[in-house]
Amino acid sequence: SSTMMEAIKSLLGLGPKVDYAELKKQGAIILDVRSKGEFAGGHIKGSVNIPVDSLPNNTSRFTDKNKPIITCCASGMRSGMAKNILKSKGYTQVYNGGSWMRLQHKLN
């Protein structure tokens, strides 16, 4: 059913098109939730690396809960989890940017 698909899409953050470049201009934080090793192998310039498993204990680094945060990882799975963690902690503007490589292209 299409409503089911819509629900899944919004769950995965595939709803309305997000202008990531515009968010970045507005000072969005780019949060890469891959492992430190993966991050070391390449990442978006200026992004913050907090592996998803340690994110619940490290959200205090983001003091402004209304500042946009774009999460990314290798595929979009972990960044989706990270988005849910941040949302559950009261962050209002969290976007799942999916794969960091694809996100990098959208930012330019």
Q: How many C-beta neighbours within 10 Å does residue 87 have?
A: 13
Q: What is the mean pLDDT of residues 8-13?
A: 60
Q: What is the mean pLDDT of the chain?
A: 91
pTM of the model: 0.84
- The residue with greater pLDDT, 87 or 3, is 87
For position 18, what pLDDT does the model report? 86
DSSP 8-state class, residue 52: G
Q: How many C-beta neighbours within 10 Å does residue 40 have?
A: 10
Q: What is the mean pLDDT of residues 30-51?
A: 98
DSSP 8-state class, residue 61: G
For position 96, what pLDDT does the model report? 96
